Amino acid sequence: MISKNTIDRVFEAARVEEVLGDFVNLKKSGSNFKGLSPFSDERTPSFMVSPVKQIWKDFSSGKGGNVVAFLMEHEHFTYPEAIKYLAKKYNIEVEETEQSQEQKEQADERESMYLVSEFAAKYFRDTLLRTELGKAIGLSYFKERGFTDETIEKFGLGYCLDEWDAFTSEAIRKGYKLEFLEKTGLSIVKGEKQFDRFKGRVMFPIQSMSGRVLGFGGRILTSDKKAAKYLNSPESSIYHKSKVLYGIYHAKQAIAKEDNCFLVEGYTDVIQFNQAGIENVVSSSGTALTPEQIRLINRLTKNITVLFDSDAAGQRASLRGIDLILEQGMNVKVCAFPDGEDPDSFAKKHSEEDIRLYLKNNSKDFIEYKASLLMEEAQNDPVKKASLIRDMVGSISKIPDHIQQEIYVQETSRIMDISEEVIFSTLAQMAGGAAKKSAPKKTKSFEVVREDGAPRTKVDELYVLERKIISLLLLYGPMEDEFEDMVLKINDKGEMELEPEIQKARVFEKVFLDLQEDEVAFANENFRKIYQQVISKFQEEEQFSLETFINEMPAENSSEVTNILMEEEQYVLHDWERMEIFVKDKKAGIGRLVNETILSLRRYLVNQKINELNQEVKQAPAERAQEILQDIMDYLSLKRVLSNKLNRVM
């Protein structure tokens, strides 16, 4: 575990504009920087970076946060990976917290295996490009496949000499231990002899999402029938076949940006698609698709398009993986290539534009594709057709979302010419529940519609008010201002009225005391946590640092805080002042703004209480009803006083 001291040093050194400038072309815009969103295609800049607040906001996608949040979102790093990336960039030594001897040994072993794998990748690459045999055999093979020098470099392709221990001997000579060469599977040890596992094969390094080499795939170039065509590294503490996707490191940004992932079968399928210009593609590397691999894609997108080979066996095998994808709540499409083609050969023969057009026109919903494929086998046989329908309903039963389930039931009913009632009944049986004789009634929920036909969106007034209070605390918390407090008194006529009283206070003190006096607790859980954290910081620290506060916040809260803080920056993006549209500076009337917000919250809560009492009086006995009615009158009087005061403030 990374020590807090290291994390603090990293946040102290890292500048959001410097780090993000490595990924986004930023231009100065007042006190901020702006650029094109790295998360969506756009022509007008909507990406804003604030050096003062050390946060960023992408208004096109709604994403935002601090420097670590950007690396986790853009590079898909874990939190520790992001901290280590920044530590490396700013030459900060990473300190680990105290570990047991066993934990240290395990960490040392894993790191040693990573180092051995990195060395192997470099060795195989150098062998391919700098030795005569490597060029004559390995490089010639890749060139025959149509791979360019840029593609070979990008994927780190290599070659292992067709000699018994060329790699192992070189690794030991360079100081790498045989123990870790064996544990990574790069070397096979038999007694006192050692052999290269990938002898005579072209090499495909397999990388993690963060780019570390985990293992290798090797393809034999001879026609030896006893040897496997493809050979993968064995399972190890750093390489788990079921949890890795080939090409994910190069595909992650494109998958997130395109909001879709193409899933293919082999290494060369991935590489050819990349070379053609389509980067959002990964492969399960010849192994059966697993839930862990699907969840890896799910971190980047909800949409998967499975690309089938034209052969029937490949299509049937891929169909089995679809149910797994559906179980993870993903949206699935499938696309088959023409007879005799696979993704590799098709990408080699066509331009990027032609490939994209083909995929767009031939990608089908999984139900439609499954029906067309299996109907060929069933033909006019009713028994086979019934089996096919059960197969399709079996796939639908894997979908966790009930709305999606119903849509697919309707689609299956249409394609297979069978009633929805029968399909729902079969679904219920598969789910283990009582058989449903009929499908649920299709009812439309009531909605209020404006005269122009557009649905009216109801504003959550309490959410808006609580969010506004958090915004005031974050932006102006330490600021001192004059506040006009209204003290509630009874006049000579016995009526309630408010008398003004001017007092000086800091914004956070005013907010805290008013909410405490009214015994108000935030309804929104996120706002409640943020409020408690920010009030504690103001009370404990003389100098409040917004940057430190954001960096120390949990990820689920920091995103909301960033949205609040960067809201005003939208005005800068649109450059309204150039068009002589001037946005009012809120600092000029901060006291008024705080009063207005607190009064609005009080009026809202009083109104809620009145509504509750109105419901209660309907059920109450006569004696109790009189008391409740008197309470309602008192609250109505208070609401009228608050409304008058609010109108005066506004």
Q: Summarize pLDDT for 374-419 with one digit per residue, the tens.
A: 676 666 788 888 888 888 888 898 888 888 889 889 988 888 888 9
Task: Give strand pairing partners of 203.
Answer: 158, 218
pLDDT at 546 over 50: yes
pLDDT of residue 312: 57
| Cβ neighbours for 456, distance < 8 A, ≥ 6 positions apart | 447, 448, 449, 450
Interacting residues of 111 by C-beta distance below 8 A, sequence separation 6+: none
Instruction: Tell me the C-alpha distance between 43 and 68, whole Å.
Output: 26
**pLDDT for 576:** 47
pTM, entire model:
0.66
Q: In this model, does residue 193 exceed pLDDT 70?
A: yes
Amino acid at 287: T
Q: What is the dihedral of CA 585, 590, 595, 598, to 10 degrees?
A: 80
Q: Write the CB contacts of 589 (distance below 8 Å, at least 6 apart in sequence).
A: none
From-to residues of CATH 3.90.580.10 in the chain: 4-89
Alpha helices in 417-489 (DSSP H): 420-430, 461-476
Digit-coded pLDDT (tens) for 340-363: 899 999 999 999 999 999 999 999
**Nearest CA-CA partner of 315 in 335, 330, 290, 332:** 335
List beta partners, residue 170. none
Strand order in the sheet with 32-35: 27-29, 32-35, 47-50, 55-58, 64-65
pLDDT at 97 over 80: no
Which ranges in the chain are annotated with CATH 3.90.980.10? 101-238
Q: What does pLDDT average to over the chain?
A: 83
Kindly report the CATH class assigned to 101-238.
alpha beta
Q: Which pLDDT score is estimated for 92?
A: 92
Distance CA 232, CA 224 (A): 17
The mean pLDDT value for 594-610 works out to 84
8-state DSSP, 569: G
N-terminal to C-terminal alpha carbon distance within the chain:
52
Return contacts of 164-170, CB within 8 angstroms, 24+ apart: 164/195, 164/196, 164/199, 165/194, 165/195, 165/196, 166/196, 167/120, 167/123, 167/124, 167/196, 167/198, 168/194, 168/195, 168/196, 169/194, 170/123
**Neighbouring C-beta atoms of residue 568, cutoff 10 Å:** 13
Q: Which of 255, 288, 293 shows the shortest CA–CA distance to 274?
A: 255
pLDDT of residue 374: 67
Report which DSSP code applies to 243.
G
Residue with tokens 């559906």: 326
Residue 577: which residues within 8 A CB-CB, separation 6 or more? 583
Return the bridge partners of 331, or none: 303
Phi, psi of 52 (to 5 degrees): -65, -45
Residue 579 has pLDDT above 50, yes or no: no
Buried b (16+ CB within 10 A) or exposed e, 78-107: eeebbbbbbbeeeebebeeeeeeeeeeeee
Contact yes or no for 157/150 (Cβ under 8 A): no
Q: How far apart are CA 231 and CA 178, in angstroms?
A: 21
- Name the least confident of 416-430, 432-446, 632-646: 432-446
Q: What pLDDT, on a 0 to 100 scale, did the predictor assign at position 530?
A: 87
Q: What's the pLDDT at 650?
A: 42
Q: For the chain, where do the domains classified as CATH 3.40.1360.10 start and end?
A: 248-430
Instruction: Give the per-residue pLDDT at 451.
Output: 45
Contact 161, 167 (CB under 8 A): yes
Q: Are 314 and 343 in contact (CB under 8 A)?
A: no
- Which DSSP state fits 539? H
344 token code pair: 């590799």
pLDDT by residue (tens digit) across 118-146?
999 999 999 999 999 999 999 999 999 99
Give the integer Cα–Cα distance in Å for 379 and 563. 57
CA dihedral (137, 141, 146, 149) positive or negative: negative
SS3 287: coil
Give the 3-state secondary structure of residue 256: helix
Cα 206 to Cα 143: distance, rounded to the nearest angstrom: 20
Question: In terms of Cα–Cα distance, which of 355, 354, 360 is closest to 333?
Answer: 360
**Which tokens go with 187?**
């070397």
- CA-nearest of 19, 31, 135 to 75 is 19
**In CATH, what class is 248-430?**
alpha beta
The CATH architecture to which 4-89 belongs is Alpha-Beta Complex (3.90)
Identity of the residue numbered 219: R
> Which residues partner with 261 through β-bridges?
304
Q: What is the rounded distance in angstroms from the CA atom of residue 545 to the CA atom of residue 161?
A: 58
Q: Which amino acid is at 229?
A: K
Average pLDDT, stretch 591-609? 84
Helix (H, G, I), strand (E, B) or coil at 276: helix
d(CA 534, CA 544): 9
pLDDT band per the 50, 70, 90 thresholds, residue 147: very high
Residue 310 has what pLDDT?
64
